[in-house]
Amino acid sequence: MNRLFRSPTSSAFLLRSCFSTTAGAATETVKPKLYPDSPLTKARDPKPKGIQWVFLGCPGVGKGTYASRLSALLGVPHIATGDLVREELKSSGPLSKQLSDIVNQGQLVSDEIILNLLSKRLEAGEAKGEAGFILDGFPRTVRQAEILNDVTDIELVVNLKLPESVLVEKCLGRRICGECGKNFNVASINVKGENGSPGISMAPLLPPPQCVSKLTIRDDDTEAVVKERLLVYYEKSQPVEDFYRSQGKLLEFDLPGGIPESWPKLLEVLNLDEHEDTKLSAAA
């Protein structure tokens, strides 16, 4: 793996240079009206460095949903390594067969392949003038977190959480429009609270009529593969939570329900300016 970081012409050099050159430019789009003890405040004070955030959480928790909403709100790219892997799978390139076996068994792709895909994505973004990032699905191993730590300064890591039974239902209910690429969910979730923890209800997120006939299901969203992905998460990715917790960067967020309940709460804990959000929905 170190090989990737030795030569200035390697992918990792690109990863390094993209990370260092993207910092800063996104700052103007945010209203950092932060709580004094928020991890954001610590990261931004005294000199703002731009948005370099990570979203962690089990399969199906909604990393993509909330990371993409925040990326639109804050004006930074949402980069999901799972999406990069799925694009590679569709491309029928040389990597495709090897990747599909790994992904469809719920296992992790090698760090080297993921770093190459991520470097390419960052390089393409940099060429378009993108600044900052919200990473979703990376880092997923402590090794990946250490590599990221070596090349850049992550400000904040949001750890989204839901009970396991909800995660499985959400993965099984996930539908993706094959044409516009939007994600929907046909599951109607009602989990009773236990041992003092509150219950959770989530209304389905149904597709508009034009998407209904084009819905697809991810090959790795079968019950057996979702359960395997959860085991892999607990074994390989949960230690990443500890890695960031020990750095004081981890913001734990128990989702209180679906998007209508969770999104305003998330904005509140991030102390983001709702005004920005209102402007965004008015423009949509």
Are 158 and 56 a contacting pair, CB within 8 Å? yes
* Bond before 139 cis per omega within 30 degrees: yes
Is 227 labeled as catalytic in the residue annotation? no
For helices 142-151 and 111-127, the axis angle rounded to 10 degrees is 40
Work out how close the CB of 240 gets to ligand ADP at its nearest, in angstroms, rounded to a whole number: 10
Q: Which residue in the list 44, 63, 69, 249 is annotated as catalytic?
A: 63
Residues 186-199: b if buried by 16+ CB within 10 A, e if exposed: ebebebeeeeeeee
Touching ligand ADP, residues 175-214 (CB under 6 A): none
- If one asks whether residue 62 binds ligand ADP (CB under 6 A), the answer comes out as no
Are 255 and 263 a contacting pair, CB within 8 Å? no
Work out how close the CB of 174 gets to ligand ADP at its nearest, in angstroms, rounded to a whole number: 8
Is 245 labeled as catalytic in the residue annotation? no
Work out how close the CB of 147 gets to ligand ADP at its nearest, in angstroms, rounded to a whole number: 11
User: Which of 14, 34, 67, 114 forms a contact with ligand ADP (CB under 6 A)?
Assistant: 114
Is 140 labeled as catalytic in the residue annotation? yes
User: Which of 16, 175, 229, 249 forms a contact with ligand ADP (CB under 6 A)?
Assistant: 229
Work out how close the CB of 67 gets to ligand ADP at its nearest, in angstroms, rounded to a whole number: 10
- C-alpha of 62 from chain center: 8
- If one asks whether residue 133 binds ligand ADP (CB under 6 A), the answer comes out as no
Q: Which is nearer to ligand ADP, 56 or 272 (CB)?
A: 56
- CA–CA dist 177, 181 (Å, integer): 5
Q: Of the listed pieces 28-36, 106-114, 197-205, 255-263, which binds ligand ADP according to CB under 6 A?
A: 106-114
How far is the CA of 43 from the CAs of 33, 35, 38, 66, in angstroms?
Answer: 13, 12, 9, 21
Q: Three-class SS of residue 252?
A: strand
Is 174 labeled as catalytic in the residue annotation? yes
User: Which of 39, 50, 59, 132 forms a contact with ligand ADP (CB under 6 A)?
Assistant: 59
For helices 81-90 and 111-127, the axis angle rounded to 10 degrees is 90
Work out how close the CB of 267 gets to ligand ADP at its nearest, in angstroms, rounded to a whole number: 23
- CA–CA dist 182, 161 (Å, integer): 22
Active-site residues, by number, are 63, 140, 174, 218, 229
| Interface with ligand ADP (CB under 6 A) | 59-60, 81-82, 85, 102-103, 106-109, 114, 137-138, 140, 144, 220, 229
